[in-house]
């Protein structure tokens, strides 16, 4: 009996140690700004995030589920499978830019993002919503409503928020690729810093 109890205690200790040391999974659900569009492999901010985690001695792995051209609707349709497959501790949602550039209904984008956030939280994942802004192609009213939906959802769902992914980048034409939409590699460390300031607290709590 004593041997059995000792063996059981050892097993439980090993299990607890293993569970404690298991790295957290960060799932990034984004569009071309996170999918290294037009960049050499490893130059995007999501790839740079992996190096930052190592430098900061934070035990986490990054799953980049970003797709160029992705919309909030597309992200929503893929999200349940991504949750089931990866069981993330943190979900970074970088979506909506393509919705805005296409002039899609803001209410639909808001509903899609809310659905993704709620699904992540139901799966016990922390959420970091990445804010985006768009040019006033569809009028000031549309542009303002689009920008406002990110802080609105973050407040409503008690999610962390990056106010604007392109802070320090959007007003620097030399950092954009020839299409004037996507960023050169030099911009991505700045984008990472914008994200990291709000992501790190979610990883060390």
**pLDDT tens-digit profile of 104-128?**
999 999 999 999 999 999 999 999 9
- pLDDT at residue 20, as a whole number: 53
| DSSP H/E element including 127 | strand 126-130
Query: In terms of CATH architecture, what is 24-204?
Result: 3-Layer(aba) Sandwich (3.40)
Per-residue pLDDT at 59 exceeds 80: yes
Sort strands 24-30 and 60-64 into parallel, antiparallel or unpaired.
parallel
Q: Model pTM?
A: 0.89
Given the residues 18, 158, 171, 179, select the one marked as catalytic: 179
For the chain, give the percent of residues with pLDDT over 90.
88
- Which of 89-124 are b and which e, b meaning 16 or more Cβ less than 10 Å from the residue's Cβ? bbbbbbbbbbbbbeebebeebbebbbbbbebbeebe
Mean pLDDT of the chain: 91
Chain-centroid distance, C-alpha 87:
14
State whether residue 110 is helix, strand or coil: helix
**2: pLDDT strictly greater than 90:** no
Q: Say what the pLDDT of residue 107 is.
A: 98
Least confident of 6-10, 88-92, 200-204: 6-10
pLDDT at position 205, please?
74
Tokens 């805005």 sit at which residue? Answer: 100
Identify the H or E element spanning 25.
strand 24-30
Domain boundaries, the chain: 24-204
Torsion, CA 52, CA 55, CA 60, CA 63, rounded to 10:
30
Q: What is the pLDDT of residue 174?
A: 97
SS3 170: coil
Q: What is the pLDDT of residues 151-187, one digit of tens each?
A: 999 999 999 999 999 999 999 999 999 999 999 999 9
Query: Sheet harboring 60-64: ordered strands across?
Result: 60-64, 24-30, 90-94, 126-130, 160-162
Kindly name the residue from 31, 32, 34, 47 that is annotated as catalytic: 32
To the query of whether residue 179 is one of the catalytic residues in this protein, the response is yes
Measured distance CA(46)–CA(66) in Å, rounded: 10
Read off the pLDDT of each residue in 9-19 and give the average, rounded to a whole number: 42
Instruction: Choose, from 68, 111, 182, 198, the residue flagged as catalytic.
Output: 182
């Amino acid at each position: 009996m004593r041997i059995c109890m000792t063996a059981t205690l050892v097993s439980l200790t090993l299990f607890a140690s293993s569970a404690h040391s298991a790295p957290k999974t960060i799932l990034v659900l984004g569009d071309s700004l996170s999918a290294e569009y037009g960049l050499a492999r490893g130059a995007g901010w999501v790839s740079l995030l992996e190096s930052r985690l190592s430098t900061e001695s934070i035990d986490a792995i990054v799953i980049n589920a970003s797709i160029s051209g992705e919309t909030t609707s597309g992200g929503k349709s893929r999200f349940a499978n991504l949750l089931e497959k990866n069981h993330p501790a943190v979900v970074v949602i970088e979506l909506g830019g393509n919705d805005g550039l296409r002039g899609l209904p803001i209410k639909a984008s808001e509903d899609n993002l809310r659905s993704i956030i709620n699904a992540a939280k139901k799966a016990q994942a922390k959420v970091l919503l990445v804010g985006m802004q768009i040019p006033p192609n569809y009028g000031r009213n549309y542009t303002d409503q689009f920008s406002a939906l990110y802080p609105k959802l973050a407040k409503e769902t008690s999610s962390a928020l990056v106010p604007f992914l392109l802070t320090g980048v959007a007003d620097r034409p030399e950092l954009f690729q020839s299409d004037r939409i996507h960023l050169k590699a030099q911009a991505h460390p700045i984008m990472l810093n914008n994200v990291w300031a709000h992501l790190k607290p979610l990883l060390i709590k």
